Amino acid sequence: MKALVIILLFVWSFQLNAQSNSKFDKDVAIEMMALNNSFSFIKIFGSDSSIIPNDYTRVYRSGIVGLDNQYQIWSKDKVAVISFRGSTSNRASWLENLFSAMIPSTGKMKIKGYDEVNYKFAKDTAAHIHAGWSLGILSMVQDLTYHIKNLNQNGVKTIIFTGHSQGGALAHLARAYFENLPNGIFKTKNQYITYAFASPMPGNKVFADEYNSRFASNLTSFNVVNPKDMVPLLPMTLYNGKLFDPEEVADLLLNSNGSIAGMFAMRLVSKWFIKDPDAYYIQKAGHDIEEEVEGFIGELDMPKYCRDQSYTSLENRMLIGPFEDVVKQLKRDSINIDSLKEIPFYSNNFDIQSGGSVQHKPFNYYLYLLKKYYPEQYALTKERFRVID
C-alpha cells in the first residue's frame, strides 16, 4: 500500500511538473509566425527562404484540398509543426469563412471523393462549431493522420498546430479533433500544442469553455491577437450578453473588404430585424452557402445545423500591436505609392505589409512579435526586408 502511494505521488508530481513547464514561449511564437508567412512569401516572392527560421526543415506540403485549404509540416529536432494556410483570394476560401452556421461538435460528414468521416471535436454534446472550418479540417484529416503516424515512426511525439487567420481557426479545430480521437488510432501518445494568430472564433460558448478547460488552462494553447484586427471578432456574435457597439461595428465595416462586411451585415440584420434570427442565419449562412460550396467540391452530406450563433473567443489571447506606425507610414507614402511600386523589390515588400487589412497582415504580426520581444532584431529585420516603418 505504501509503495502504491509513493508511485501515485510520483506520477502526480511528474504531471504537475510537466504542466507547470507549459507556458507561452515568445521564441516559439516568433518561429511559428515566420512559418505561417511561408504561404504568402512563396506567392509574392516565389520563395520563403528569407523568412524560414534556421533549423526548420519542410517535411511535407499538401496539395490544395477542400475549399482551397493547404497545410505544411515542418520539423525541428523532435518537434513537428503543422501550419495551416489562411484565407486566400479564391472565392472557395471565402465561402469556407461565410459557411458559418453551426453544426454539432460530434457527428458525421460526407464529402464527395472522401470516405464518410465520423468526427468528434468536443466531449460535451452541447458544443457547436463553425460548419465551414470544420469542413476544411475534415477534408484534411485523412492526410494529416497518415503523416502524423509517419512522424511518430520517426520518433516525433510533440506536434504544434499553428496558423494565421482562417489558418488559426483550423489550428484550434485540428487540436480539438486529434485530442478527441478514440484510443488506438495512434500507437504513440502525442503531445499537442497550439499557437494560433488572429484566429476567429471556431465554436460556441460550450465548445470554448471545454477547449479552455482542457487546453488553454494548462497553457498549451494560445491565440496571438492585435486588438485593432477585426478578424478575431468574427463570426459576429453576442459579446458579454449584448451586441457589439454599433459605432465599433460601423468603423470595422468601413475599413473592411466586401466579403467581411457582408458577413457582419448579415449578422446585424438577423439579430436586429428578423423575427426568427436563428432560422434566418441557418438559411443564409448554412443552406444557401452549402449550395455554393457544392459547386466547388461536389455533393455534401452535412450534419443538421444548430440554432445557435453564440460564437465565443478562446482563452490565452496574447496581445500585440496595434500596428499604428505601419498605418502612419503608409499614409505618409500614399502620395508616392505609384512611383514606389515601379521598383519591383519595393512593390513586393509593399504587398506583404499593406492593402485593405494592414492590421491583419501576417507579416505585420511577425514584425510586431519581434518589436515586442526583441526590438534590436526587429530593427535588423526591417532593414533586411526594407519594410515600411
| pTM exceeds 0.75 for this model | yes
Distance (Å, rounded) from C-alpha 55 to C-alpha 132?
Answer: 34
Per the domain annotation, does 85 fall within a domain? yes
* Dihedral sign (CA 277, 278, 284, 288): negative
Confidence of residue 3 (pLDDT cuts 50, 70, 90): very low
Distance (Å, rounded) from C-alpha 321 to C-alpha 367?
Answer: 10
Per the domain annotation, does 343 fall within a domain? no
Per the domain annotation, does 231 fall within a domain? yes
What is the mean predicted confidence (pLDDT) over 306-319? 92
Does the pLDDT of residue 15 top 50, yes or no? no
Q: Show the domain range for 177.
A: 27-322
Distance (Å, rounded) from C-alpha 177 to C-alpha 194?
Answer: 13
Distance (Å, rounded) from C-alpha 384 to C-alpha 389?
Answer: 13
pLDDT tens digits for 23-37?
999 999 999 999 999
Per the domain annotation, does 14 fall within a domain? no
- Give the pLDDT score at 4: 39
Confidence of residue 239 (pLDDT cuts 50, 70, 90): very low
Per the domain annotation, does 186 fall within a domain? yes
Which residues have CB under 8 Å from 200's CB, separation 6+? 97, 165, 166, 168, 169, 231, 232, 233, 234, 235
Q: Which three cell numbers stand for residue 295?
A: 459547386
Question: Chain-centre distance of CA 38, in angstroms?
Answer: 15
Percent of the chain with pLDDT over 90: 63
Distance (Å, rounded) from C-alpha 37 to C-alpha 171?
Answer: 15
Supply the CATH number for residue 60's domain.
3.40.50.1820
Comparing C-alpha atoms, which of 202, 191, 199, 164 is closest to residue 72? 164
Confidence of residue 333 (pLDDT cuts 50, 70, 90): low
Q: Say how many domains are in the chain.
A: 1
pLDDT tens digits for 70-95?
999 999 999 999 999 999 989 999 99
Per the domain annotation, does 249 fall within a domain? yes
Does the pLDDT of residue 361 top 60, yes or no? yes
Per the domain annotation, does 36 fall within a domain? yes
Per the domain annotation, does 342 fall within a domain? no
Distance (Å, rounded) from C-alpha 17 to C-alpha 14?
Answer: 5
Confidence of residue 358 (pLDDT cuts 50, 70, 90): confident
- Give the pLDDT score at 44: 86
